[in-house]
Amino acid sequence: MQLNEIKPGLQYKLLSQTGPVHAPMFVMAVEVNGQVFEGSGPTKKKAKLHAAEKALRSFVQFPNASEAHLAMGRTLSVNTDFTSDQADFPDTLFNGFETPVPSDASFYLGSNGDGSFSSSGDYGLPSSAIASSLCQSPLPAPSPYPSASGKNPVMILNELRPGLKYEFLSESGESHAKNFVMAVAVDGQTFEGSGRNKKLAKARAAQSALASLFNMQLDQTPSRQPIPSEGLQLHLPQVLADAVARLVVDKFSDLTENFTSPHARRKVLAGIVMTTGTDVKDALVISVSTGTKCINGEYMSDRGLALNDCHAEIISRRCLLKFLYAQLELYLSNKEDQQKSIFIKSERGGFKLKENVQFHLYISTSPCGDARIFSPHEAAQEDQGDRHPNRKARGQLRTKIESGEGTIPVRSTTTIQTWDGVLQGERLLTMSCSDKIARWNVLGIQGALLSLFVEPIYFSSIILGSLYHGDHLSRAVYQRIAEIEDLPPLYTLNRPLLSGISNAEARQPGKAPNFSVNWTVGDTDLEVINATTGKDEMGRASRLCKHAFYSRWMRIHAKLSSSLRSKIKPNLYHETKQGATEYQTAKECLFKAFLKAGLGAWVEKPIEQDQFSLTV
């Protein structure tokens, strides 16, 4: 049936019939574009089906879409640009992919890509046809299988592999955002799918099998496609994205008694997951956090005791810093523990991550600022990406509003915030999450202090639970500063994998709570912080505050070899950070890149808040 939709009017011939009357074996053949494909089976119908399947399979073995279409007797212009606004290829290419607008329980996949989880046998090697088809192009060429005719993945898979059994694996999530997981075994491999109901989960399991075994992608919405990393890609993008999201949500469920604790209330959830190889099953949740608010200016601390920014993704990155300090302490404690640490000695002096250690940032929605302002809704089926990429508002640096939500563009002239100005009532400005993530993609996530000990560390993936728009997110987190110049050695413009998840998270109803929670691997409980004061409800400093980190930094500094120690003389917090000369040079390059692109000037906090020393 699928073959007939591509090439109508094909004639099947019976080549032979063998075997006894009670168990005959038929061989049927079909000719497509001069090539003959044979199939055998206990009935003529099954033999025909096998012949058709072989013909279809031949189309997807080609390295690119144009060769596959050539095999089907269609031609494409030689230099087809699938990302172009002006399509220079024939409409016939997409005719098979026009799908009706899906209902809420649509089977045309939720957020993007092939959906779902797969068994470890399905991760594939980067050299395989499967991995390359999923990892190479941000806007993949459509598969020659048509997804029109209103068929969902379960029906299509059933035509190719009749009689499959689906198994219900698990149910999780909050009452208003349930998540079901179904599995199906095809050709000896198990494929999983998740969704807000069993029907959708089943469809996503089928879609996972179709994508992996038959290279069929049913969702061709450009804005929903994962954008691959320029670095080492150890996992299939969609498999990784769904696994990371599920790990973070499940950990948050564990920490909040299955979302029943009062501190489970949240607008945004973020977390960081670490992988140490190609198997997502070995992934470890490093941090989980919530929050959407910033400190009120009057509560700023001049001793580094308050958290300025309690947005979930910012807090998760501070949790990662805490983990990095713990891993350095582990390395420096004794020879036995050195092996357990994620760090090894660097040839350049100091430390670097072991090979294949990767960090993946999950945020339940698009980060505030440039990534979110133009992505208020989920990408629709007909959404062809950003229709106005050159508008002046695109890419502008933006600041969060003190004691509120949302962001505003920075002023065109450099804004210097002063301590006394803020204390007298000037609104404290904090850069948006989109801007901070772009900064981490240049300076690394380790910050200035740790850069004195370790080489820059970058996120390998940024995964969004909802409102994923590939074009807006890529612009916000690296594309707008693509012209950055003169970065010092080891610093680069990092382009991580960007992806949504198969089962986009439901919008969290209600008013945003005033608290932020955080947990880092090794902690027994969540810490609850009042976002307005930057401290806990008892007025105590957070375990993530600058003072706490500087204390740990000083202890590590004291344990280092004298050669490393002599390069750095601890002093005021601000001066120690300034001592990280290569980091500071990279920061200047970043600020210049924003200015040169006409996107505004970075707004820094009043300098007085970093003028503290430690009384250890």
Among 137, 360, 135, which residue's Cα sits nearest to residue 238?
135
Cα(first)–Cα(last) distance of the chain, in Å?
Answer: 76
Spatial separation of the C-alpha atoms in residues 372 and 405, rounded to whole Å: 12
Among 427, 369, 358, which residue's Cα sits nearest to residue 394?
369
Residue owning tokens 């999780």? 172
Hey, which bits of 149-253 come out as E strands? 166-172, 179-186, 189-195
Alpha helices in 276-348 (DSSP H): 312-333, 335-338
Alpha helices in 540-606 (DSSP H): 546-559, 562-566, 573-578, 581-596
73: left (phi over 0), alpha (psi -120 to 50) or beta: left
Catalytic residue among 174, 192, 313, 455: 313
Spatial separation of the C-alpha atoms in residues 593 and 366, rounded to whole Å: 23
Spatial separation of the C-alpha atoms in residues 473 and 464, rounded to whole Å: 10
Per-residue HEC secondary structure of 385-454 comes to: CCCCCCCCCCCCCEEECCCCCCEEECCCCCCECCHHHHHCCCCCCEECHHHHHHHHHHHCCCHHHHHCCE
Within 8 A by CB and 6+ apart from 263, the residues are: 256, 515, 517, 526, 528
Residue 329 annotated in active site: no
Q: Give CA angle at 28 (26, 33), nearest 5°.
A: 170
Among 606, 612, 604, 611, which residue's Cα sits nearest to residue 420?
606
Within 8 A by CB and 6+ apart from 469, the residues are: 223, 366, 371, 374, 375, 379, 383, 385, 386
**Dihedral, CA of residue 122, residue 127, residue 129 and residue 130, to nearest 10:** 30
3-state secondary structure of 99: coil
Residues acting as catalytic residues = 313
